[in-house]
Structure 1
Amino acid sequence: MLIRKASDIPSSEITPHSVYLRRREFLGASLGLAALAAFPDATRAAQIAAAKSPYSTDETPTRRADATSYNNFYEFGTDKADPSAKAGSLKTSPWSVKIDGLVGKPATYTLEDILKPVTLEERIYRMRCVEGWSMVIPWVGFPLADLLKRVEPQNAAKYVAFETLVRPEEMPGQRGLFQPLSWPYVEGLRLDEAMHPLTILATGMYGETLPNQNGAPLRLVVPWKYGFKGIKSIVRISLVDKEPPTTWNKLAADEYGFYSNVNPEVDHPRWSQATERRIGEGSGLFAKRRPTLMFNGYGEQVAQLYSGMDLRANY
């Protein structure tokens, strides 16, 4: 089992507090403790890469308390506080992901199967939400490309489609007569976007196991796109030859395009995208605003993916 309740863990497996406080002395800049937090098997620690990934921003991370209590996860409710209040009911172990479509090795893989050969690392990414707010989050994860290569994409594959769990008995936002969205939540990327080294599947954040409200146990992180592209609690990944439907685009195509690249020059129909508010830097009239960066500041790495495209039409 990947994740256990604290009450189920024998004291012999718990890191003494004195050792924990000396972790940098023992592990240098490594993320060994992140591995121990996410995986009880201590041998996983050896696979953790340097704490500061070359893809990390130098910006100060958002407080963990803010990043884990101010969330969009409609499966648990539409209020920003609903996921942290209600996601504790979600059972994330055991977990499996069906990988199918245009691949050479279609199968239903356990989370252990997916993670066994990967190297996890910490990446501090800027994350921008379409509603005008942003965060800086230290994710623990691995490149999506590593997984896709293992399942052998066929030549006809052009896109990657993702699907979230449907479990209304544990996800109260999926219950009731009037639903804000259609379930399952679905998202998609072009294959070259999915294979880009910035795109990761996250299993943790802040050096700890990914909290339920943030998409446990496996979620997508694409830092140059708006946050709703980061589909949570993934149970299916399909490689397809046509652009797949996405939840928000189906709901309001004039507001949420397939690409959803951060672009300060393309406003949402109901608000400007030219500036953003960093969570934790004030609220209401006292909220500090900052200019929104094209591709969320990752233009040097990803702009070539969209060479020749009209980014107003392909928003």
Structure 2
Amino acid sequence: MPRYRYPTIPESEVTPKALFESRRKFLRGSLSLGAAATLAPGLLLPSKGFAWQEVLENRLDGKLPSHDWAGDEELTSVSDITSYNNFYEFGTGKRDPELYAHRLETDPWSLSLEGELEKTGIYKLEDILKKQKFEERIYRLRCVEAWSMVIPWVGFPLVDLLKQHGLTSRSKYVVFEAVYDPERLRGQRRSIIEWPYREALRIDEAMHPLAFLAVGLYGEPMPNQNGAPIRLVVPWKYGFKSIKSVVSIKVVEDKPVTSWEERNPEEYGFYANVNPNVEHPRWSQARERRIGERGRRETLMFNGYADEVASLYSDMDLRRFY
């Protein structure tokens, strides 16, 4: 099978990051709306009036609990977050998601919950959101391509949803599947991977309190180009594990094969834990380029979350299970 290689990232593609005088003032005040207004209309946020979006906006009117899991690092600007990312359903260019995400249809949106669960079925997203306790979490995001961001997500722990639907004794892995719509999503007309995009976590990873289902960022509903209306965020793993625009969550007993693992297992393993000591076959993972900063910084083991998640892998050779 031919390998797909990520395109080379020229330094000229790095968008300068806006300076923030006060991160908390920015998050709680109106500046996020001002930053959103600088983008092309309709690209940042989904159209108004969606049932799931109304549920979310009603909850965002109040003050959300906020948890800083990035060590008080400076936030990446909303303009960088929404204009520089990988979302291959729209194309392989970093700005393809921003340019083409308006074609993603997010209303209506349903989430299928299947497999080793006591309660299975296809649920309207708004019905799922009504049951959740939303919070803001500031996480580091580390891409396998050796660039990184710090993003204030809005959402709820994945474990909450799994507990609401009840796990059976055969629950070993959780498989996620993204939207498939090649008529609207131009990237799916190319054989980048075998579509639709699939990712998975071991059940203890999925149940870890840091695993997060995000439905917004910077206090607003999730932009289309960042995975609207709902995406996974697993901050101790490389970014490709945090699948976007999720339509299906299936709990299974047998270990699944994920999309990038299937495409190129030598370069993109199942676990994909951030590890500065294990090189990618084509580049070092010891340092990273923080979008909006000059130079490079040291990469942290498990992206800085080792105290929280290292115990999940205490009996594993992380050079073998990469």
TM-score range, shorter chain: 0.7 to 0.9
The equivalences for 1:89-128 within 5 A come to 89-128=103-142
Contact kept? 1:187, 1:229, Cα under 8 Å: yes
Report SS of the residue matched to 1:74: coil
Contact kept? 1:229, 1:260, Cα under 8 Å: yes
Gaps of 5+ in 2: 1-25, 31-47
The question of 1:295 aligning with 2:302 is answered yes
Letter in 2 for 1:44: R
The equivalences for 1:1-315 within 5 A come to 39-40=53-54, 43-45=58-60, 49-50=64-65, 52-53=66-67, 55-175=69-189, 178-282=190-294, 288-315=295-322
TM-score norm. by structure 2 comes to 0.82
Instruction: Map Cα deviations across residues 189-244 of structure 1 (whole Å, 9 max, x no partner).
Output: 00110011101000000111111110000000000000000000000000001111
Gaps of 5+ in 1: 1-20, 26-35, 283-287
Measured in 2, the distance between the counterparts of 1:47 and 1:112 equals 18
Measured in 2, the distance between the counterparts of 1:183 and 1:47 equals 39
Report SS of the residue matched to 1:84: helix
| Displacement of 1:301 | 0.5
Measured in 2, the distance between the counterparts of 1:233 and 1:24 equals 27
TM-score norm. by structure 1 comes to 0.84
Contact kept? 1:53, 1:123, Cα under 8 Å: yes
Measured in 1, the distance between the counterparts of 2:78 and 2:68 equals 22
Measured in 2, the distance between the counterparts of 1:99 and 1:203 equals 17
Contact kept? 1:48, 1:119, Cα under 8 Å: no
Report SS of the residue matched to 1:192: helix
Measured in 2, the distance between the counterparts of 1:148 and 1:159 equals 12
| Displacement of 1:171 | 0.5
Instruction: Map Cα deviations across residues 127-186 of structure 1 (whole Å, 9 max, x no partner).
Output: 0001110000000010000000011110111000000010011111112xx421110000
Letter in 2 for 1:49: L
